Amino acid sequence: MSDICIGNSTVGRNQKVCIVAELSGNHAGSIDNAIKIIHSAKRAGVNAIKLQTYTADSITLNSNSEDFLISKDSPWSIYKNLWNLYDKAHTPWSWHPILFDEAKKVGLDIFSSPFDETAVDFLENLGVSVYKIASPEINHIPLIEKVAKTGKPIILSSGVAEKSDIELAINTIRKIGTNEIILLKCTSAYPTPEDEANLSTITDMKESFGLDIGFSDHTEGDTAAIIATSLGAVMIEKHFIGDLGIESVDSFFSLNEIEMKSMIEKVRLTERLIGSPFYGLTQSSKPSSTGRRSIYISSEIHEGEIFTKENIKVVRPSFGLDPKFYNEILGKKASRSIKAGARLSWDMVSKES
């Protein structure tokens, strides 16, 4: 697995976790809000911000037949049908060039999830560096093929996928010729109950698919993101409302600026704590090495006297001869007189048998 470039960010196992702020519909229909969220994301310390590129008509039908109605127990039931929800939540395509420019201006990478083939053509004209296939589109093979043909890296989310769906999507992408794929562990429940996060799947995904794995996090708070980092996630995506303090279609499970900043600080701390495989003494642990044991003279010894269990002892600190030589020393003669409390060294041991 090689690292993948997303604009100026390099994503992979030996890189820092890439933090992506999902804008989604948190702009609440205002481009000014969208711009404010971009600036807020920069202040919070994210690496990239992600849009969603669709219209209500490109994603569903404007119908009130039963199939298109939103259930009453949905957090989005107020919108009655799918078309109304997506019409409210979508990011107008005319905003995209402005938001792309704004993100680049503040030094954030920016990309999007296209939801149909026309969105791919549109995003290609904006020069996106990477595409994300949103969880519900994992079975949209024509879309996946269209994205794969761009030759750009693909972030593939798995929130509503069976394992066979993931396999088909990955095989489709690879068949067309790109292997630059990041697979996201995801549960498409808003917010996700803790007992449905199943973060151990991250480890299984790495083994099953041979890909770098990220985490699209819909849980509340930041604990899941920290655990995902410890399990080797290379990317964390989190819905983000910034410092707007308003209600939007996704605000109820999105982080604000303070929360995002705190999550990133904890993720970075987790990375430092994980570190790299290392055996030996770190710089700060070297002083503690004196707490190891070594061989000391426990009773005064005269020249020619034999070393025994009664006159040498393995004790702390570590300035004497290493304890691995203890049995070798026993029975040998002292080359000179030695006071009790002296650290044993080879020059104190007679070379005579």
Q: Looking at the chain, how many residues does it have?
A: 353
Identify the pLDDT of residue 31: 98
Provide the phi-psi class of 297: left if phi over 0, else alpha when psi is between -120 and 50, else beta: beta
**Superfamily assignment of 4-54+90-274 in CATH?**
Aldolase class I (3.20.20.70)
Q: What is the pLDDT of residues 172-231, one digit of tens each?
A: 999 997 889 999 999 999 999 999 999 999 999 999 999 999 999 999 999 999 999 999
* Rounded-to-integer distance, Cα 134 and Cα 155, Å: 8
Q: Are 157 and 184 in contact (CB under 8 A)?
A: yes
Q: Comparing C-alpha atoms, which of 77, 116, 88, 113 is closest to residue 27?
A: 88
CATH 3.90.1210.10 is right for the domain spanning 284-348: yes
Would you say residue 44 has pLDDT above 60? yes
pLDDT at 1: 64
> Could you read off the pLDDT of 64-76 as tens digits, one per residue?
999 999 999 999 9
pLDDT digit string (tens) for 283-331? Answer: 999 999 999 999 999 999 999 999 999 999 999 999 999 999 999 999 9
Q: Check residue 352 and give its pLDDT.
A: 81
Whether the domain at 4-54+90-274 and the domain at 284-348 fall into the same CATH topology: no
Sequence spans of domains, the chain: 4-54+90-274, 284-348
**Predicted confidence (pLDDT) at residue 353 exceeds the cutoff of 80:** no
The percent of residues in the chain predicted with pLDDT above 70, rounded, is 99
Mean residue pLDDT of the chain comes to: 96
Among 36-40, 270-274, 286-290, the least confident range: 286-290
Q: Is residue 265 scored above 70 in pLDDT?
A: yes
pTM (2 d.p.): 0.89
Amino acid identity for residue 82 in this structure = L
